[in-house]
Amino acid sequence: MRLIDRYMFRQLLGPALAATAALAAVLTLSQTLTFLDILVGQKQGILVFAKVILLTLPQMLAMVLPIAVFVATLMTLNRLHTEQEIVVCYAGGMSRWQVTAPAFRLATIAALMTLVVNLWIQPIAMRALRDELFRVRTDLAASLVREGEFNSPTSGLTVYAQSVDSEGLLKNVFIHQDKPGGESSVFTADRGLVTTRGDLPVMILRNGSNEQFNSKGVLNYVLFSEYVFDLAPYAEKQETVSYKVSDRFLHELLAPDTSNYWDKQNKKSFLAEAHYRISSPIYVITFMAFAIFGVLGGSFSRIGYTRRIATVGALAGAVRIVGFAVQSASVHTPSLNVLQYVVPILPILLIARALYRAPKSAGAGLVPLTPLGLSPQTGRL
């Protein structure tokens, strides 16, 4: 029996991994389009872009695992059933529970992985993602320069660069700066580079000129081979990284910092998110149960189980939609948080009762038989 058990588990594991990889690739592609502005608009390198995409993977993994397990179970059990390998298992004395136990073992492993991702890996990754996006958004060089455009990142400053190469070197630079008292300066240079000197941000201009107009309208014109333009006044930002509800750890969700006004105002949202993090892995087992019922929950058919599979697929999708609706409602009504556990657990109990209930007695009616005359509950004649 252990050999057959391992064989069934391997048959399920391969398609589950393939389905997970395929679904994760699709979601990664969608995230690629979402963060494309990091390359185009923010002028960041490909490594920064790849880092941002990789940091979204844990959250996507938790989303795709239930679907991947559902698809893999349907494919595998449908193939084994139509090729009558499951019938052979019944003929060998295996019960329906013994036949389906590898599937539930795989679902349990996937559910535990999802729980680990939800409680620890996702918050770590999402915080790192938020920090990286904040750094990109407040990157001085990227905020100052828009290739081929006149950009005004702050009041009193206009910057233009004809082009920016892969190393950040600016070509044909123009800077217009307004100063207090009605004074203004115009800088033009062949080359420019945003860097730091003494931990202060500066732009080094080379081979250019500076025209200064004072309040009396007097023009001062100076040529220079190198000029250090101070960017510190424009780099002073009071912004800090703000972590969203999805970025918080479980203990922060269950016991938010009430001294923080935003946290205090969103206590209900925190509580709903905490229960969602704990309950959402159950959907992996729920989807697995639906898939098993779609193949083994009725009589044998040589032409397949398209209608039954479509039905359980629709039911699984409906259950998940109800789960999202309950999570949303729990934000406003905390007493509904218990339903976040009821919604995924109830279908498991109903399907288990339908699949594994004891055979009826002879006087109560006949037990449905497989094509070989085997009882689907016991696997015996």
Task: List the one residue out of 230, 231, 263 whose CA is nearest residue 248.
Answer: 263
252-267 pLDDT, tens digit per residue, is 999 998 888 888 889 9
Question: Do 107 and 220 belong together in one domain?
Answer: no
Q: What's the rounded Cα separation, in Å, for the pair 164 and 251?
A: 46
Q: What's the rounded Cα separation, in Å, for the pair 87 and 84?
A: 5
Q: Which of the residue ranges 149-163, 225-239, 276-290 would you say has the lowest mean pLDDT?
A: 225-239
**Exposed / middle / buried, residue 9 (Cβ in 10 Å: 0-12, 13-18, 19+):** middle
Q: Determine the pLDDT at residue 273.
A: 95
CB 351 within 8 A of CB 100: no
Question: Do 117 and 62 belong together in one domain?
Answer: yes
Angle between the N-to-C axes of helices 306-330 and 282-296, in degrees from 0 to 180, rounded to the nearest 10: 160
Does the residue 199 lie in any domain?
yes
Task: List the one residue out of 181, 174, 178 whose CA is nearest residue 234.
Answer: 178
Does the residue 373 lie in any domain?
no
Question: Do 14 and 132 belong together in one domain?
Answer: yes
CB 76 within 8 A of CB 361: no
150-176 pLDDT, tens digit per residue, is 888 777 889 999 988 767 788 999 999
Q: Please tell me whether the overall predicted TM-score, pTM, comes out greater than 0.85 for this model.
A: no
- What sign for the dihedral angle of Cα 239, 241, 243, 244? positive
Overall average pLDDT of the 164-191 stretch = 86
Domain that holds residue 102: 2-137+248-364
Question: Do 209 and 352 belong together in one domain?
Answer: no
Question: Do 316 and 227 belong together in one domain?
Answer: no
Question: Do 13 and 54 belong together in one domain?
Answer: yes
**Per-residue confidence at 180, pLDDT binned at 50, 70, 90?**
confident
